[in-house]
A and B are shown apart, each in its own frame.
Chain A
């Protein structure tokens, strides 16, 4: 245990660094065999992965406050990209400002470990209050569109992503080997590896398109290859990084594999609707923050509640 982080989580982080070293070397070796543009894009992507992995490591290793601030920042950047892309109304400027304020509120609730409030703050209270605040603005034109898009953005970028942060404050003694960072690593690593897996399997074996109108690059072969890879990884990593058994880990792998795909194509549909290719330019080779966390929006709540039900809920702990 170093800096309060269990050794399993540290070994897993070292493993991530190992994978990035391998990817960097592999791409350097493939230089002559790939078209110039593809090679440049891969180099950019891997470089961005290095930066993301480094920032992520610092964020989850130092302490809980740093971790919460980090995930709050991820929510903020994703929400800002979203609000900048969608049509908004001038009259809603102050409503949008309030919507941003749900981020510090939600992450403070996580810091206080108020599970009951964490789970209802945005889906219940914000859901009821923001439209009312909008009514006070007095403009009914495009009212429903404004209510719907604002709440959807908050559910995805704030409520959804904040589930990653809640993993960090779940009781550590229930996951003695790897603690909260182990849970976050399992979720984030599998989600991101699933993305890469679907991309690589799709590029090498892809034939049949899944949703050609939304995301022409996505194929059945990529999806299945990605899910199978994620299942294998979940089986291996689950019992080591989380309190789940091998079998339970397979369930988590399936949720992450399919949920990740769903999140990815959902954001693709949104971008297509808005007529943009990327949601931003924050991460060279990847696009914006929202392009990177699209799968996590789905996998984080799915994985969290699956794990919570099995190992952390009052029922699971035999308190009820």
Chain B
């Protein structure tokens, strides 16, 4: 039942919204990983980000797990069912739990199973259309799994269509620029810094209208 609902949700609702209401301009789609393990690292402006990335992964969707904050996405029974069964999120605790548990342990296990994680290095959605400080989680993952590619994906426009705290979806085209994967083993120095540089490079590829 849930599998049917999941299929209906992604192929009917999400695809219609993304193709007709929004419209994507995707650059370098071929850089998306064809198989796991891999990490898709994207900037985060909107709930649409996850939907767009899942949609771009197409039939590989079954192996894609968006990493999401448990306190937000599992906050009640309906959200828990929807997040886990329909979207397929991988819930993590934002704060290190009191007994010293490792919030990234589940991510590591998923990568070992060959899954593809969607990771938002900025943490939460933050100010629309602005790149916030990266958190350390993605660098830790890269250090623990130095051969897993972290693919930077810069999106623009989704925060205009559906910013944080708004329920009204307003049609805007969105740009999705896929960068080249970066492995922990490729980087000698600061992984976060290297990833951030890739993002800045991707951002400079586009011409974006002001939104103030």
Residues of A at under 8 Å CB distance from B?
A: 76-77, 80-81, 83-90, 93-94, 96-97, 100, 141-142, 274-276, 280-282
Contact = CB atoms under 8 A, between A and B. Distances in A.
B23 interface: yes
Interface in B125-176: 128, 157, 160, 163, 166, 168, 170-173
Nearest to B175: A84
B212 A90 contact: yes
B142 to A, nearest CB: 32
B207 interface: yes
B18 to A, nearest CB: 13
A241 to B, nearest CB: 32
B177 to A, nearest CB: 13
B211 interface: yes
Contact of A88 (B163, B166, B173, B211): B211
Interface residues of B, number: 17
10 contacts: A77-B23, A80-B171, A90-B128, A93-B168, A94-B170, A100-B170, A100-B171, A141-B212, A274-B207, A280-B173
Given A93-B163, A274-B207, 14 more contacts: A80-B172, A84-B173, A87-B210, A87-B211, A87-B212, A88-B211, A90-B163, A93-B166, A93-B170, A96-B170, A97-B168, A274-B209, A280-B25, A280-B173
A89 B23 CA distance: 20
Nearest to A275: B207
Given A274-B207, A274-B209, A275-B207, A81 B171 contact: no
Top-6 shortest CB links A-B? A87-B210, A84-B173, A97-B170, A84-B172, A87-B209, A275-B207
Nearest to B24: A281
B45 to A, nearest CB: 12
A93 B128 CA distance: 13
Nearest to B22: A80
B211 A90 contact: yes
Report whether over half of chain B's contact residues are helix, strand or loop; otherwise say mixed. Answer: loop
Contacts, number: 52
Interface of B: 23, 25, 128, 157, 160, 163, 166, 168, 170-173, 207, 209-212
A280 B160 CA distance: 17
Nearest to A86: B209
A81 B209 contact: no
Nearest to A139: B212
Contacts of B207: 274-276
Contacts of B25: 280-281
A255 to B, nearest CB: 32
A203 to B, nearest CB: 28
B168 A88 contact: no
B153 to A, nearest CB: 17
B204 to A, nearest CB: 13
Contacts of A100: 170-171
